[in-house]
Every structure is written in C-alpha cells, then in structure tokens.
Structure 1
C-alpha cells in the first residue's frame, strides 16, 4: 500500500510540471517558475511583476531579462502597466561598474515618464544626494539646501573644545567672503563716550602691553569670536579717527598762530 502511494506521488511530481507548463515542483518542496531545476523554495527565472493594480510593482532586470548584473525594484515607475498619472519610485542595484551607480534611488513625478535620481552611491564610495547627483563628484555631493540638527566637525570630532560651536574645523577654511552680524562701534561717536587721552593710552600700553579693551595675547590663544573681535577693532579705528580729528584741529590752530606770529615779526 505504501509503495502504491509512493508511486502515485512520484507520478504526480513527474506529471505536474508538464501540466502547469513552466512551473516545476520538486520532491524537496522547491517551486520553479520558468526553470526545471529550482534551487530555492521559490526560484523564478525571469522578471516578477504585479500587474493590473493601481500601483503596479516589478522586480526585474532593466535589460529585457538578460544576465546583465542589474536589478530594479519598482513601484509604479517602469512596470509595463505603470499608471503615469501617479508618482512612482524605484530602487536599483547595478554591478556593471564604470560610471554606473552601485545603488540608485529614483523618483518619478506624476505625469512624467522618466524617473529622476534622488540619491546615488558610486562604486568608488561617492554618495550623491538631491536632484542632479546621479554622478556624485565627491564622497558627499549634495545639490540643494542642507539642514543639520546637531554639530558638524571637519577634521575633528573633539566637540568639547567649545560647547556652543555648531561647526568645528581642524584646518584652514578658504572662502571668498564671511558675513558676521552685529558688528558696530558707533557708540564711540556719542557725546557721552569718554575717550581716553593719549597720555592715558600710553600709560596703559606701558603697563599692560596691549591696547585698552582689547584682550591680551594670552587670552586669544584659543581663538576669538570674529564678530566680537571685529567690533573691538572697529572701536579702536573710530577712536583713532577722533584722535586724528582732535590733532588736526590743534595743528590748524598752531598753523594759524604761526601765521599771526610771522606777520608780527615782519612788522
């Protein structure tokens, strides 16, 4: 009896593949689609797609089912019956090398046929973020605005240097311009401002070896706040301007007295 059942099971296993066309069932529980020798519980030789859906899906090689090492997971993006009036997305793995992306994240806007690369990782490790970064030119290539909710270190991760610093750079910063806010020392020109005499300034310098209100070299070894320091420098420039104006007035008075003295001597 057991031999009869075994024979029946064997016959069914042998006959079912031909009954179901390209579907193969093996004794160890493997199912093959378009293959007679499945190597896993479900072995599909070809593309997989879910059709006749509002948002069709597909898992297939882009190059018409060839052995090209490229795999595309698609939701309403390039599926045969994609609904292009709605948006679509896709994730692609590509092992062709060269200038091809290793991983690529695509988005297709509604009423468009072609997708746009939003993120791409190259075989050389370059990562591109944003529209237009399908071929990133640096380790991190970002097109568009960035928002970092935290702190950024370049060349260092020692954030203990300054608890308030959002950006810490260990090295030189090269830029065409730097804009700082709240740089003004116009209070120097107020009538109530007490301008030191040059004698007082000389005395202070002799005692402290630096200008009044300006920090000593020992206080600036770890750096200065640019806006604050620029304000101090501007204050000193405005004070110098007042000193020059005062000296110019005194010089003009001396020249006038000299002219009077010359006229008197000629007589």
Structure 2
C-alpha cells in the first residue's frame, strides 16, 4: 500500500512539475505556451527554439512557416534568418537572397542597391539577378532578368522549327532584292532592309536569336550577290576571250591576204 501511495504521489508531483513549465489549459486542444526558451535534442539555448536535427512539417493542409514582422520591421516585410554571410528576405511578393548586411533588416538606406537585389524572385516565378524590376514593354514572356553582364562558356538557343532558320534564302523561289534597289534603300534609310535602326535598337534592345537569324539571312543574301557577280564576271571573261580569239583570227586572215 505504501508503494502504491508513493508512486501516486510521484506521478502527481511530476505532472504538477510538467504543468508548471507551460501556460494554458491542460486539455489536448487549447494552445499552450511559455515565455522561456525551448531546446530539442540539444542543451543549446541561444535562441527561443533550438533544434538539433531536422525539422519536418507533415500533413496535406498547406503547411507553412509564417514569420511575423516585429515592431521595428517595415510593414509587409518579413525577414528570414541569416548565417552571417547571406540573408533571405521576403518583401511583399518578392523573395530576396543577398550577402548579409544589417542595414537590410530595417528601413535604413541601402549601401548598395544591387547588393540587396543580388537574387530576387517574383511570386509568379520570374527571377532577377542584380535587379527586381521585371516590368517593361514586351517583357511578359521573359523569365530571367539580369543587371550588368553575363559571363559564360556556352549559350545554346533552341530553334522552334526548320522555317525559323534563314536557309530559305537559298531556295529557288526566293526573291533577292536587285542591287540597284538595295543601293536606293540604303541611301534613303541609312540601314539594311529589315535591320533595326540605331534608334530602335537603343529604345527596344535586340532579340539575340532573331538578330542572329537576321544576320545569317543577310550573309546568305550577300553570298548570292557575290555568286551573281562572279557569274557576270565569268561571262564577261568568256566573251572577252571569244572576242580576243575572233580578233586574232581576223588578224591572221588579213595577214594571209597580204
């Protein structure tokens, strides 16, 4: 009997001790909370919640990790932690990843705007590097925006269909602009047909794939012009040779008569 009484007292004491660690109702549905720090799998108590191991959210009801803005944080801005080197920042509909700087935590002026925008992503999946400005004329179909240059070893551009390449210039039914018409066009407009003007290129930029195809088209047209001229030169040389032979034959006849 004494043992049973002792076990009951211990159980009540441990339950009382545990209940003192948390605030809230003692049922299984109402929230419980505490003002101290909680550590799981570790005795590290540097932060409010310290976990040694993985953190997994399970369920199929749209699990989320929600970060509430503090009194010093700008309205509508949520900050996700950093490791002293990089900082992840949620601001409205954009996600930012950039080198760490304490000024980015609040509304202080940015020391380098491009630094904060090192990597940004819009909620619709559009990605920016060095910029978060995804709004411009004709930009709706683009997914990657880069400020400044891109250095890479290779760039491969897909061609949607065979008629997207410029080899149709070599088809027998292709109408090549006569050279005298081309000369008139250049003198009037100051640029090649179909090629954007300087003003248009500055205002709208150029589409690299389209421009490469257009330049190939002009090279192929130039090749056709060259071949045409070579045919004319060959024909003229042949006519000159025939005239030269005819003159020699005529000269021989005249000489023989004398």
TM-score where L is the length of structure 1: 0.50
Give ranges in structure 1 of 5+ residues lacking alignment: 1-15, 33-40, 48-58, 75-88, 92-119, 128-137, 140-147
Contact 1:23 1:31 in 2 (8 A): no
Q: Which residue of 1 aligns with 2:134?
A: 159
Select the structure that is richer in strand.
1
TM superposition shift of 1:43: 11
Pairwise CA distance, 1:71: 4.0
2:86 pairs with 1:125: yes
Return the alpha-carbon distance in structure 1 between the equivalents of residues 145 and 44 of structure 2.
50
How much does 1:66 deviate? 8.0
Q: Which has the higher helix share?
A: 2
Give the deviation of 1:207 after TM superposition: 0.1
SS of 2:165's equivalent in the other structure is coil
* TM-score normalised by the chain length of structure 2: 0.52
Deviation at 1:255, TM superposition (A): 1.7
Cα drift, residue 150 of structure 1:
2.1
Alignment pair present for 1:231 and 2:213: yes
On the 8 A contact 2:185/2:193 being kept in 1, the answer is yes
Q: How far did residue 42 of structure 1 move? A: 8.1
1:8-29: CA deviation from partner (whole Å, max 9, x where unpaired): xxxxxxxx9xx74996968xx9
Please tell me whether the aligned partners of residues 151 and 166 of structure 1 are also in contact (alpha carbons under 8 angstroms): yes
User: How many residue pairs get matched?
Assistant: 171
RMSD value over aligned CA atoms?
4.3
Q: Distance in 1 between matches of 2:15 and 2:177?
A: 99
CA distance in 1, matches of 2:127, 2:226: 45
Work out the CA distance in 2 between the residues paired with 1:43 and 1:166. 45
CA separation of 1:169 and 1:257: change in aligned 2, threshold 3 A? same
Aligned to 1:101: none
